Structure 1
């Protein structure tokens, strides 16, 4: 009987395991997770003061689909030659196909080793229990994680300082027009923003800036990005370059090994990219399941991100080139919508921000236009009198 082993029980690994069953695979499926809790959703950890992590699937669903879920289990070695994985308890599993869905781990720059980070439910519990009225919270990093934590901490009544080394917030994620809305809202909420401020050293209670200033806090959190978890792949001799390098079918450099989710480097349009995204983990999990069964079509899902901060929802479809100009579409006083076309005239990226789901419908249409590689007239997209649905029908 054919056996598929999946290393990593996060969003991507779980989605792949269930997608295999949905697509008719009746061989053995083993899903290995290093954490002991039932696989859970990670996005809410930074967005809400949650009492408990939300399971991705109920516990009985795994048994119902005959998925052998191994929790609290680490893989010590991957051997592509013998198609086997060695577990830390001494057991060895053999496979016909293997999926690496090992995700990513929090980045910590030298000198920040004592800071808290947010990646797991345990990390969230350690942080949330200390978010109280008057608590002094220092957050290093003005990206999605740092700003979501800042909003969560402020709603809990904490005094929050966000330190960003770059010239603006969200410098790698969204254009300035959207980042400015986020910046202004945090300022209104009482967040202290130190932008363009470098950090030379930090620990759990103190941050030293490059200008020599020392800031004291009750808790310091570093939200300075994540690194792909590729140790197993590297030790096994697989190609790794900012993630496990995969082809159009998400196959690694060994024909029986695949990789997907936060840990993989894949081709999208004319570039190699690695995404840290709940939506990408879901999409790639389903896609790689089909690939392992020899049924996949070319991967065409558009990168998509979202962030909840206060009552604002920020959504991004596609990948912006921050060196190129963007256009705006007038949407009303409470919302902003921007987009970018590439040199060939294709819609390449779009982003919007507003209360609740006010920009969701427009972003969904623009996402579909990006997915279809539509050539668009930017003047038409920028004109609020032009119906976006008509542009989609014409694409």
Structure 2
């Protein structure tokens, strides 16, 4: 085996290319990206610096060259022939592979209402540049979708003094990923900052200067941004006959239904030990999956078992969540000077933790909680609630036991 192709030059695809070299793979590595830029990170796009969109490179051209990675940019993969083990590119080239990684990521969900074409998406650097350049002269912005991206954008725009309205069909914002306690606190902070919310209502039409809701309300909007989530980009995999669901289905080793093809990042739905598949949408999980997939394509047999983790910054508040909190978990709250933590127990075992505080002040606590989760401990709930009990001491005790 001496030819590996990676389709997708985002966080997961690019990290996998370098991880192949780090694992000792000496064959050819080809990285294919649809955008004309060097690979860049997406999280900074919603956090402009001095009003300018940040394009933070994942790596430089010199690093790619030094690692012997052939980066083909500005093209897409138009056809995957599993039997011939080849990929046809949009520029007409056909490349052969021995192993293939699909890191095709995700694409924005599309609105279906009348006038949907007037909205701006938020996924790529050009998307972010278009939004922030137009808000330089805008007086009002309507953000359709009260998820993480929508709320981050709302915070940024309010910081610039722009009137912001958030439209969400659910009864509350941040309902899908954020624990209810912290979702309510972030919602309250946005209200304090002057954001207007229209919850539990659909959209009838988008016109030049407003979003018309299903109840007849006209929400003023010089700019309307669609932030209603993403869909895994499975088109190439599906056309090639790979098993797909809510993503490209993989086993615990990130191998798809074709033993020569792997998937990682936002496009991958990974098998779980208890059954079913889960798709993890976060920067760190994209990197972790990339490293596992790379080692396995190079001949390893590593299981992907990373603990899910994500963060969001809104105003001066930072939220981090490790693990997968569920409504039926027992919860324990710890109050701290700079914020609060919430722990989630399943049958006594710690399975998730979340923290909301000023800036990055709780990062160390969440990291320790994540290590406790990985250790599979069943801590005393009273100790978790007691701020005088050091989490590091709990971890040390668990390891000793």
Q: TM-score, normalised by structure 2?
A: 0.94
Picking from 202, 207, 210, the partner of 1:206 is 210
Picking from 317, 328, 334, the partner of 1:329 is 334
Aligned to 1:42: 42
**Structure 1: unaligned runs, 5 residues or longer:** none
| Separation of aligned partners in 2, 1:50 and 1:274 | 31
| Separation of aligned partners in 2, 1:31 and 1:242 | 24
Q: How far off its partner does 1:218 sit?
A: 0.4
Superposition map of 1:40-189 within 5 A: 40-48=40-48, 49-111=51-113, 112-132=116-136, 135-189=139-193
| Separation of aligned partners in 1, 2:343 and 2:183 | 14
| Separation of aligned partners in 2, 1:21 and 1:7 | 17
Q: How far off its partner does 1:52 sit?
A: 4.0
Picking from 359, 367, 378, the partner of 1:356 is 359
Q: How far off its partner does 1:296 sit?
A: 3.6
**Structure 2: unaligned runs, 5 residues or longer:** none
What is the RMSD of the two structures over their aligned residues, measured on CA atoms?
Answer: 1.6
Identify which range, 265-274 or 67-76, moves more after superposition. Answer: 265-274
| Separation of aligned partners in 1, 2:201 and 2:108 | 21
Identify which range, 314-323 or 368-377, moves more after superposition. Answer: 368-377
Picking from 303, 306, 329, the partner of 1:298 is 303
| Separation of aligned partners in 2, 1:118 and 1:13 | 20
Aligned to 1:14: 14
| Separation of aligned partners in 2, 1:293 and 1:135 | 53
Cα deviation digits, residues 255-300 of structure 1 (max 9, x gap): 1000000000003453521011111111111111011112242222
* 1:226 counterpart = 2:251: no
Picking from 333, 339, 342, the partner of 1:338 is 342
Cα deviation digits, residues 337-367 of structure 1 (max 9, x gap): 1121113x22111111111111111100111
Q: Is the 8 A contact 1:12 1:101 kept in 2?
A: yes
Cα deviation digits, residues 90-125 of structure 1 (max 9, x gap): 111010000000000011132134311100000001
* 1:194 counterpart = 2:198: yes
| Separation of aligned partners in 2, 1:55 and 1:351 | 29
Aligned to 1:309: 314
| Separation of aligned partners in 1, 2:208 and 2:89 | 34
Q: TM-score, normalised by structure 1?
A: 0.96
Q: How far off its partner does 1:203 sit?
A: 5.5
Q: Is the 8 A contact 2:146 2:166 kept in 1?
A: yes
Q: How far off its partner does 1:11 sit?
A: 0.2
Determine helix, strand or coil for the equivalent of 1:370.
helix
* 1:347 counterpart = 2:350: yes
Determine helix, strand or coil for the equivalent of 2:212.
strand
Give aligned pairs, total: 393
Identify which range, 279-288 or 384-393, moves more after superposition. Answer: 384-393
